[in-house]
Amino acid sequence: MKTPRSEIDFKSFSFSDEILSAITQMGFSQPTEIQQKTIPAILAGKDVLARADTGSGKTAAFALPLLDLLSNQNPYVRIGRFDRFKPTERVASNRVQVLVLVPTRELAIQVADVFIKMSENISPAIKCLSAYGGVKINPQMQALRGGADVLVATPGRLLDLVDQNAIKFNQVKALVIDEVDRLMKGDFLEEIERIKKLLPNKIQTLMFTATFPESISILVRNVMNNPEVINIDEFVDKLEIDQRVIEVNHHQKNDLLAHLLEENGWNQVLIFCSAKRTCDNLLKKLEKRGINDAAVMHSNKKQSERAAALERFKAGDVRILIATDVAARGIDIEQLPCVINYDLPRSPNDYIHRTGRTGRAGENGVVISLIAHHEYQHFSVIERHNGFNLKRERLEGFEVDDVAPALPRKSSKKKKTRLSKKQKARLGAEQKLDGQTEKKIAETGREKTKKPAVNADIWGR
């Protein structure tokens, strides 16, 4: 991470005393580069499109100025230079003032916690809520009855609240879309476009992303008004993150992984797998080798289980966290020394997000990718996309074969034939007829068996 300019501190932004007090309590000394560039633009009411590395202080970059605008002691409100937010006007029932959209429930919880911690000293109190799927919606609906100054939500659950008539958007002053590149996948884009149509026309829109895929330009045109573009290009700093690529036969990955975990003194390791089943299987294989300080986190786990696994990992109760890419976005693990790619990510952009889990806030970190023969080409695509070229390693005792060993065959799944209503009705009628025919045959058979029995009795007599 680039060193912040020494002549700029948080007092330079004319923050309220309440916000400055919160900054001190959280141990912030100087603003990071992304904070230096975005905070003045947000305080001035501009739309902002910012690209920044994970771990660069991105959440505080939008949380601090937005809370300052909501603060009762905001100097911009006092002197009349900026009155977009009026803290004396409290939010009405089922309304929100600041809406933050994030891709995952883990990130929703984390961002909401940042808002809550930073607003502790503000009076009257700022109400911050989070809303996400995977849990019952009724408690979230009840919490919104009193309104919320800040709501951090996943798009799908937010639209569920809309469908339940539990939220109105006429008081929204600012929209923040975090991890925009992640929200461009799947149904997210359609959901965001639907949400945008429900919002007032004149609101401040802030977007934050770690990469700039072409799909973002569509969203920018649709929802932003002449945004100020801030590009902090500090993704993989060679001085902070050591990237290693180790070639290995696919059937030796488990052996190599266990070797790395046993030989290195990492106090914490985050291991990424491409599939939920792989995570569960890898946990069992590590346990068979006597490595019992590991936990699993993926979308098939209940929200409570995922949160518990992450908290145990952060607290140091378990040394190893095995996860799918659900953990690659927005999860802040301080001083994480090592990330291991057991499987490569499907998207080249996701490699950056996985890498961003280590080397945060100027700390050193290492990322190790274990690649088998069938992954060579895909890793080359990741390199070209992200603009780097890494040396391949081969460890003694785990030398890779010149010819790729055969991959295990996947069991073929039988496809279920989908029938129309007419076909189902016809099939039901045929089965009914078949049943009646079988019944007649059975009755006829019984009659035939009775007659010979009688005749046998006669002849016997």
- 427 within some domain: no
> For residue 1, what pLDDT is reported?
41
| One domain for residues 202 and 327 | no
The total domain count for the chain is 2
Mean of pLDDT values over 397-403: 88
Query: Regarding predicted confidence, which is higher, 79 or 444?
Result: 444
- 217 within some domain: yes
Query: Which of 206-215, 252-261, 299-308, 440-449 is predicted with the least confidence, judged by mean pLDDT?
Result: 440-449
Cα(85)–Cα(426) distance, rounded to whole angstroms? 65
| One domain for residues 215 and 185 | yes
Q: Write the pLDDT tens digit of every residue in 125-140.
A: 889 999 999 889 999 9
DSSP state for residue 298 in the 8-state scheme = -
Cα(219)–Cα(207) distance, rounded to whole angstroms? 10
Q: Indicate the pLDDT class of residue 331, thresholds 50, 70 and 90.
A: low
- 5 within some domain: no
Instruction: Give the range of the structural domain holding residue 161, as residue numbers without chain letter.
Output: 10-231
Share the mean pLDDT of the chain: 81
> For residue 446, what pLDDT is reported?
56
| One domain for residues 33 and 156 | yes
| One domain for residues 320 and 342 | yes
| One domain for residues 59 and 169 | yes
- Which residues, 6+ apart, have CB-to-CB distance to 166 below 8 Å? 94, 140, 141, 144
| One domain for residues 139 and 200 | yes
Domain end, chosen from 359, 393, 427, is at 393
Q: Give the containing element (helix H, strand E) for 322.
A: strand 320-323
| One domain for residues 315 and 350 | yes
| One domain for residues 127 and 107 | yes
pTM of the model: 0.61
Cα(379)–Cα(442) distance, rounded to whole angstroms? 66
41 closest CA partner among 201, 284, 230: 230
- 101 within some domain: yes
| One domain for residues 16 and 69 | yes
| One domain for residues 269 and 201 | no
Q: Write the pLDDT tens digit of every residue in 164-175.
A: 999 999 999 999
212 closest CA partner among 56, 52, 55, 344: 52
Q: Is the pLDDT of residue 291 over 50?
A: yes
Whether the Cβ atoms of residue 400 and residue 394 lie closer than 8 Å to each other: yes
Q: Is the pLDDT of residue 285 over 60?
A: yes
Q: Is the pLDDT of residue 305 over 90?
A: no
Q: Is the pLDDT of residue 214 over 70?
A: no
Cα(134)–Cα(303) distance, rounded to whole angstroms? 6
| One domain for residues 107 and 186 | yes
Q: In sequence order, what E strands does 232-319 have?
A: 241-247, 269-272, 294-297
What tokens appear for 150 in the block?
């800040």
- 428 within some domain: no
- 134 within some domain: yes
- 255 within some domain: yes
Domain end, chosen from 343, 360, 393, is at 393
| One domain for residues 287 and 308 | yes
Q: What is the CATH number of the domain that holds 350?
A: 3.40.50.300
Whether the Cβ atoms of residue 102 and residue 108 lie closer than 8 Å to each other: yes
How far, rounded to the nearest angstrom, does the alpha carbon of residue 222 sit from its chain's CA centroid? 24
Whether the Cβ atoms of residue 368 and residue 340 lie closer than 8 Å to each other: yes
Q: Write the pLDDT tens digit of every residue in 424-437.
A: 777 777 666 666 66
Mean of pLDDT values over 56-77: 77
Cα(17)–Cα(23) distance, rounded to whole angstroms? 10
Cα(276)–Cα(273) distance, rounded to whole angstroms? 7
- 2 within some domain: no
- Which residues, 6+ apart, have CB-to-CB distance to 101 below 8 Å? 153, 154, 155, 158, 175, 176, 177, 178, 183, 192, 195
Domain end, chosen from 332, 358, 393, is at 393
